[in-house]
């Protein structure tokens, strides 16, 4: 949805990409898992297995 608003080579960031989310309503991790391999991407996660958080960045 947002890449039309981001210039070529620009970045889009997502928060709460870690699979182990403390709130069931938080669904970003599923979307992230679906799209991340379609783009150059980076993940900023403090510890594997942590509960919640995490930043995912894609380059469009």
Phi-psi region of 14 (alpha: psi -120 to 50; beta: other; left: phi over 0): beta
Q: What's the distance, CA 16 to chain centroid?
A: 7
Q: Give percent of the chain above pLDDT 70.
A: 100
Cβ atoms within 10 Å of 50's Cβ, excluding its own: 12
Query: What is the pTM assigned to this prediction?
Result: 0.83
Domain that residue 16 falls in? 2-59
1-5, 42-46, 48-52, range with the lowest pLDDT: 1-5
**pLDDT for the residue numbered 4:** 84
Higher pLDDT, 27 or 40: 40
The whole-number pLDDT of residue 51 equals 86
Mean pLDDT of 27-55: 92
Q: Could you tell me the pLDDT band of residue 24, with boundaries at 50, 70 and 90?
A: confident
Q: In the chain, how many domains are there?
A: 1
């Amino acid at each position: 949805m947002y890449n039309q608003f981001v210039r070529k080579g620009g970045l889009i960031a997502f928060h709460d990409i870690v699979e182990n989310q403390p709130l069931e309503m938080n669904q970003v991790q599923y979307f992230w898992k679906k799209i991340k391999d379609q783009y150059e991407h980076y993940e900023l996660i403090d510890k594997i297995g942590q509960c919640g958080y995490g930043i995912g960045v894609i380059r469009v």
